[in-house]
């Protein structure tokens, strides 16, 4: 059986935690930051856990 390939786009976006959850970044933090408040930019800098509904799909994209 051939080796499973990792989806490189997903590998760049998600980080696996110790309990097999995934961390992701917030959207809206890439550009057009002048109009956003410092509080909003600070909140968007924090990482958060992926929704429970998406974990199965991400695990298929990241087999290793």
Question: Is this prediction's pTM over 0.75?
Answer: yes
Residue 49's pLDDT is 97
Task: Spell out the alpha helix ranges (H) of 1-64.
Answer: 8-13, 38-45, 55-61
pLDDT class for 58, splitting at 50, 70, 90?
very high
**pLDDT tens track for 2-13:** 999 999 999 999
Domains in the chain with CATH codes: 8-61 (4.10.410.60)
Helix, strand or coil, per DSSP, at residue 14: coil
pLDDT (mean) for 9-25? 96
Of residues 12, 7, 22, the one with CA closest to residue 61 = 7
Of residues 59, 25, 57, 62, the one with CA closest to residue 44 = 25
Q: What percent of the chain has pLDDT over 90?
A: 95
């Amino acid at each position: 059986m051939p080796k499973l390939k990792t989806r490189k786009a997903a590998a760049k976006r998600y980080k696996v935690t110790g309990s097999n959850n995934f961390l992701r970044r917030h959207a809206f933090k890439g550009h057009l930051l002048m109009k956003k408040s410092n509080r909003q930019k600070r909140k968007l800098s924090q990482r958060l856990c992926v929704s429970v509904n998406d974990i199965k799909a991400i695990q298929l994209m990241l087999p290793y």
